[in-house]
Amino acid sequence: MKIKNIIITFVSAIAILLSTSVVSFSKVVGDKIVLGAAVSLTGKYSSNGVHTQNGYNMAVDRINSMGGIKVGGKTYKFEIIYYDDESNPKRAAQLAERLISQDGVEFMLGPYSSGLTKAMAPVTEKYGVPMVEANGASRSLFTKGYKYLFAVLAPANLYLDVAIRTAVELNGGKGVRIAQAFEQDAFSQDVRLGILDAAKDTGSEIVIDDKLPKELNDMAATLAKVKAVKPDVLVVSGHTKGALTAIRQIAEMKVDVPMLAMTHCDAAKLSKQHGKNSQYALCASQWHKTLTYKDKWFKDGMTYDADFTKMFGYAPPYQAAESSAALLVFKDAFERANSFDQKKVRDALAATDMQTFYGNIKFAPGGQNVSKPMVLFQVMCDSSGKCENKVVAPLKWASAELIHPIPKWSER
């Protein structure tokens, strides 16, 4: 009886092993191009992880239904294998390894966040698997000399660059006094480096330079300093909790500052959670639906917004839009490479130069997208208290005029 059990276990173990390794041949199966992706479906990035996945799925649907990808005279369709990386960098690296060596995936899509992308990039690089990512903006991703990493988004150091330049412009070209508060994490510190560069370029002065703790929930001290120093611009970046904390405490402490620039307003649902208190805040964004970029799959931002809302029941944040753009880049590269050879696809990716609804895409040697500027929108509320985000900079895309300086709290 015992021996029988052992034999059964042994045989079934081998059977399982065989059945999993059978699938693990080249990942262009029949008429399908199989892409691998680890996204955060649970854990602290799960909201944005889901936006990422929805963005990917929407693009797969669209590309497949509009005729798929033509390579070597044959038409292929996209399919994605997803795993949940639990918002954990170690897990993400393991899953990249698993996707490549067990599932035999030859092309990858990125995860959500710079941290997780950083964990996966060495693995995809090791196996020479091209990865197009849409949610890792940290500058350090693009300085390591990775050859197989391509990011459709603008790097983190450019997030609030526009804000400083706009402030200087409004100041008649003279430098401004900047107060800044950044969370101590890779992304926010990259944004900070960008501000330092912009300040140096424009002859601006940094008067407050606070580094907020990761468990940030209170910026009262920073804001009291701002009240005392009276800078021209206040820049805050600390993910969603930074944006929410800043707006709450600026309103509570009645901090008057002519310009307030932030990141993550979109993800923080700033105007929904804070209503009129969030008015006049300037927010850096990778994408906005009113931008006039066009492509033939999604038409333009407004159409994308409408289609996405119809499909998933909520308006797409930029994290979803950029994720969709990653698939468009892959499709374009496959067709130009006219092959599934990883090296050829990689070279085709490197030579990408296209416009999508999300923006222009052209990669620098480091892999970052250099042809799409960041946009700034400003939260604007009407008298009934309904707030909307309107693009105000760069001027080329502006749908509303920047309100500057921000009215004092005593006059609101």
The footprint of other proteins (CB under 8 A) covers: 42-47, 87, 181, 184, 207-213, 215, 217-218, 220-222, 224-225, 227-229, 239-241, 244-245, 248-249, 252-254, 267-269, 273-275
Q: Residue 289 phi/psi, 5° resolution?
A: -60, -25
Quote the CA–CA distance of 374 and 239 in Å, as a whole number. 17
Nearest distance, CB of residue 58 and other proteins, angstroms: 21
Contact 381, 370 (CB under 8 A): no
Residues 6+ apart with CB under 8 A from 261: 160, 163, 164, 233, 234, 235, 236, 281, 282, 283, 284, 376
Nearest to other proteins of 279, 368 (CB atom): 279
Quote the CA–CA distance of 241 and 51 in Å, as a whole number. 18
Nearest distance, CB of residue 314 and other proteins, angstroms: 12
> Residue 264: in which H helix or E strand, if any?
none
Say whether 164 sits in a helix, a strand or coil: helix
Nearest distance, CB of residue 177 and other proteins, angstroms: 12
Structure-token pair, residue 285: 């964004």
Helices 46-65, 318-337: crossing angle, 10 deg rounding: 40
Nearest to other proteins of 47, 355 (CB atom): 47
Q: Residue 399 phi/psi, 5° resolution?
A: -110, -5
Nearest distance, CB of residue 246 and other proteins, angstroms: 11
Nearest distance, CB of residue 308 and other proteins, angstroms: 19
Nearest distance, CB of residue 327 and other proteins, angstroms: 24
DSSP 278-334: GTT-EEEES--TT---EETTTEEHHHHHHHHHHHHSSPPPHHHHHHHHHHHHHHHHH
* Alpha-carbon distance values, 191 to 84, 116, 139, 186 (Å): 28, 18, 9, 9
Nearest to other proteins of 112, 298 (CB atom): 112
The per-residue b/e assignment along 44-67, b for 16 or more CB within 10 angstroms, e otherwise, is ebbebbbbbbbbbbbbbebbbeee
Nearest to other proteins of 208, 259 (CB atom): 208
Nearest distance, CB of residue 183 and other proteins, angstroms: 10
Nearest to other proteins of 199, 393 (CB atom): 199
CA R_g for the chain:
23
Say whether 210 sits in a helix, a strand or coil: strand
Nearest distance, CB of residue 48 and other proteins, angstroms: 8
Nearest distance, CB of residue 216 and other proteins, angstroms: 9
Dihedral angle of Cα 366, 367, 369, 374, to the nearest 10 degrees:
-70
Nearest to other proteins of 65, 184 (CB atom): 184
Quote the CA–CA distance of 372 and 57 in Å, as a whole number. 23
Nearest to other proteins of 44, 144 (CB atom): 44
Nearest to other proteins of 240, 352 (CB atom): 240
Contact 141, 114 (CB under 8 A): yes
Nearest distance, CB of residue 111 and other proteins, angstroms: 15
Nearest to other proteins of 267, 398 (CB atom): 267
Nearest to other proteins of 271, 290 (CB atom): 271
The residue behind tokens 């931008």 is 291
Q: Closest Cα partner for 374 from 395, 393, 398? A: 393
Nearest distance, CB of residue 245 and other proteins, angstroms: 6
Structure-token pair, residue 88: 């954990």
Nearest to other proteins of 196, 267 (CB atom): 267
